[in-house]
Amino acid sequence: MKILGIETSCDETAAAVVSNGKIVLSNTVLSSLDFHKEFGGVIPEIAQRFHMKFIDKVALKALKAAKIKTDELDAIAVTYGPGLVGALLVGVSFAKSLSYSLNKPLVGINHLQAHIYSVLMSHKGIKLPCVGLVVSGGHTNLVLVKDFLNYKTLGQTQDDAAGEAFDKVAKILGLGYPGGPIINKLSRKKRKEKIYFPRAYLSKDSLDFSFSGLKTAVLYYRKKIRNKKLSKQQQIDIAGAFQDAVVDVLVDKAVLAAKKYKVKNIVVGGGVSRNSSLREKLAEKAALEGCKAYFPLDVYCQDNAAMIAGLAYHKVIRKEVSDLDLQAETSLAIDKK
Ligand code: KG4
Ligand code: ZN
């Protein structure tokens, strides 16, 4: 079964063709990131206009790369939430018109579930149920993944998302956007235990997150340093201490969830899953508890449509297809089909 997936929830315009939920025949991603950089964050209007300009070209490129024609497709899958409303609408409208004109089923996909699926697609035989952690620019969700399409929310952020905290702290330190990769790279040169920022664990055993206090702690620390421009070493030490605080909380809560729900596998998806310290520390701590941590292949860490088309296969075989009145849902929860 060959499915064309469409993804336009944020700043990546993406299309992919995936066979039987796992064989990726093509995976085309065009990002508008460069146009957002000067503003220090994603500008919804720019993202939407970019999607409108390129969605048809990206979809055609994905079909061409997969060497298949539209009449060979079995379904059209699209992210219908969560995300930026204008951005989502471009993909949803495009997918609806394709579905209608080609007379192929339409499959609406939850972007956050697809991030989890991107990990399951990257590795063979991860046993379910498992704990899932989605960490991106807009989301921090801890879930119990009962099966590909059945999720139970265990915790989520009460304020900033993990990636958002990386981006905001990078701005405070004058490092540029997006902050995650820059902070990750700088932190490798951090001097040991120079600075310590508080970890927000919330109440005992809580699986929720909070990162805005940490961001404020970094801001106050920065303000206490009188010189206008930070030295390179100061940037490195602050960035490193901040990253440690974020990673420790993510790791501890993911492992706590695995213990609490007696599962052996932890899967981590979304942009922040690229973070090398998160990967190392989670692998280490999970192993101490007899668990194993899995991350997506590098190409599936960022937003992409392969994870959309891949997950759609499981919806089609369960006959969970959508109507043409599918709506974009900006705040779609991770546990909602
Ligand atoms: O999933 P994603 O590509 O887009 C959405 O937000 O949906 O995630 C982007 C986020 C940004 O906040 C970026 O700073 C962060 O992922 N990020 C990282 C790393 N690479 C990207 N954060 C920490 N370490 C990284 N290596
Ligand atoms: Zn995403």
| Domain range summary for the chain, segments of one domain joined by + | 2-115+300-317, 127-297
pLDDT at 228: 80
Q: What phi-psi label fits residue 221: left (phi over 0), alpha (psi between -120 and 50 degrees) or beta?
A: alpha
Nearest CA owner, ligand 1 atom 8: 271
Q: What is the spatial distance between Cα 319 and Cα 251, in angstroms, rounded to a whole number?
A: 36
Sheet holding 140-147, edge to edge: 150-156, 140-147, 130-135, 265-269, 292-294
Q: How far is CA 210 from CA 93, 259, 262, 269, 279, in A?
A: 35, 21, 25, 19, 20
The helix/strand/coil state of 20 is coil
- Which pLDDT does position 328 carry in this prediction? 98
Fold identical between 2-115+300-317 and 127-297? yes
Per-residue pLDDT, 226: 82
Which string of b and e fits 182-217 if b means at least 16 CB within 10 Å?
bbbebbeebeeeebebeebbeeeeebbbbbeebbeb
Query: Which overall architecture, per CATH, does domain 127-297 show?
Result: 2-Layer Sandwich (3.30)
What is the number of the ligand closest to the CA of 186? 1
Is the distance from the beta carbon of residue 138 to the nearest atom of ligand 1 less than 6 Å?
yes
Yes or no: say if 111 and 12 are a contact pair by the CB < 8 Å rule. Answer: no
pLDDT of residue 284: 98
- Is the beta carbon of 11 within 6 A of some atom in ligand 1? no
- For the Cβ of 134 lying below 6 angstroms from any atom of ligand 1, the answer is no
Q: Would the CB of 13 count as within 6 Å of ligand 1?
A: no
Instruction: Pick out the chain residues at pLDDT < 50.
Output: none
Predicted local distance difference test score (pLDDT) of residue 66: 98
- Give the class (CATH, top level) of 2-115+300-317: alpha beta
Which of 133, 166, 246 to probe ligand 1 with, by most ligand atoms within 8 A of CB? Answer: 166
Q: Residues 184-220: pLDDT tens digits?
A: 999 998 887 789 999 999 988 999 999 999 999 999 9
Choose one of 136, 164, 243 to mutate for the ligand 1 pocket test, by most ligand atoms within 8 angstroms of C-beta.
136
Ligand closest in space to the Cα of 115: 2
Residues composing the chain: 337
**Ligand 1 atom index nearest CA of 164:** 12
Residues 6+ apart with CB under 8 A from 56: 94
Q: Which atom of ligand 1 is nearest to the CA of 166?
A: 14
184 lines ligand 1 (CB under 6 A): yes
Strand partners, 293: 266
Q: What's the CA-to-centroid distance between 270 and ligand 2, angstroms?
A: 5
pTM across the whole model = 0.96
Q: Write down the pLDDT at residue 148.
A: 95
